[in-house]
Structure 1
Amino acid sequence: MSTILLIEDDTSLFQEIKEQLASWDYAVYGVYDFGDIMQDFTSLKPDLVIIDIQLPKYDGFHWCRMIRTHSNVPIIFLSSRDHPTDMVMSMQLGADDYVQKPFHFDVLIAKIQAILRRTYDYNNEQVELRTWNNATIDYAKNTVTNEQGTIELTKNESYILKCLTERKNEVVSREEIIQKLWDDERFISDNTLTVNVNRLRKRLGELGLSGFIETKVGQGYQAKEATYPYD
């Protein structure tokens, strides 16, 4: 049974989501103090976090930042706000998905199932280390290491990089990445992939590797593999 921390201050909505998720065998917990959510997060160690943007004291973006300093646990945002910048901000902070209120519960459960499956089933696979442009990618730990240091990726970033480096120097279409990453492209926006790829490039830039992920306009993305004199 997967454990979900639901950070929602609307009591009736919290109870409705909790009851619905319980029918799918998820254990759902709330928070006791909206001013110290990290205490509940640390003690519960959830498998997934669902968080509203508009909360008492501090907003969901603040708590997403706090969680990301400690953990790469999957995070889904819930919000009644429909401004595109909210979705972009959530992705930039490391969220895995964004659901706008009001929502159909079938959509929410599909997103939860897909995220948990790709996060935990994927991590339980026997994944070999991969070398790419003199960097070592550890897909089990979601890290990339070269002589400049080590960076830690989110699950989405790591899986996008996996999709691309499995086919080095080939163009992988946006549709293929979306389908692999989210299982059903109907439940995800094209813009979300763009945000995730841009965030991946930014992280790889810390190791001098951002230029090796190329956008092929109208086609998709390509992970270039450089040829070194000593290869």
Structure 2
Amino acid sequence: MTIQTLVNTSSAAWEGWNNLGYQARTRILRHWTDQLAAECRAMVEYQCRQAEEHVAPTLLMPGPTGETNELYCAGRGSFVVTADNETPLVAFFGQLAAALVTGNTVFVCLPADYPVKAKDVAVQLEQSGCAGGVITAIDNDQLADLVSHPAVAGVAYAGKLSTTQALGRQLAARDGLLAQLISETDTEQLPVIGSPTYSLRFVTERTRTINITAVGGNATLLELGSGEEH
């Protein structure tokens, strides 16, 4: 399958997954955790709880002329989630859960000798309720081309500082919109992945304006994404 086909499939699945809502996505992820070790299950649950607190709520902001403005968070699009062969499973599953629960589709790339296989994780999540295209296992030789593709919203990586720097340079050299690099280099203490606001790195803010004074009422006039990190 070509890189463009992979990107098209993931992009096509994104809207449905993003619009599914936090509660439905959380139910799927919690069902999936039945297959995980206790530490990894706890990490996925932690990411779901933090996203529910920091990302899921919609804020209402009444406007001066009678309109209602709703500020909410949405997934950015398709993320690459990857790790080094020495990265603990709990770190990888934390990245994956945060990306998915916030409404992003995911490409998973793991070293050949990693304790779990990307394809097995993809199968588990689809069996737990993820639609096809929400999570896609990719080979290591496809990673560089996907990171460089302008339609990929960002990369979540856990491992060496040198690899983080290389990924940063690769993303900076891309054409098109800026992409997120969400990296964790302390794979023992996990200060980034373990942060209560980690999920905010995977979302963008959007505003929906509803003009309740318009003829006919309740007309949605504007919905914009900031394209920036919350």
Scaled by the length of structure 2, the TM-score of the pair is 0.31
- Bigger strand fraction: 2
Higher relative contact order (CA 8 A, sep 6+): 2
Scaled by the length of structure 1, the TM-score of the pair is 0.31
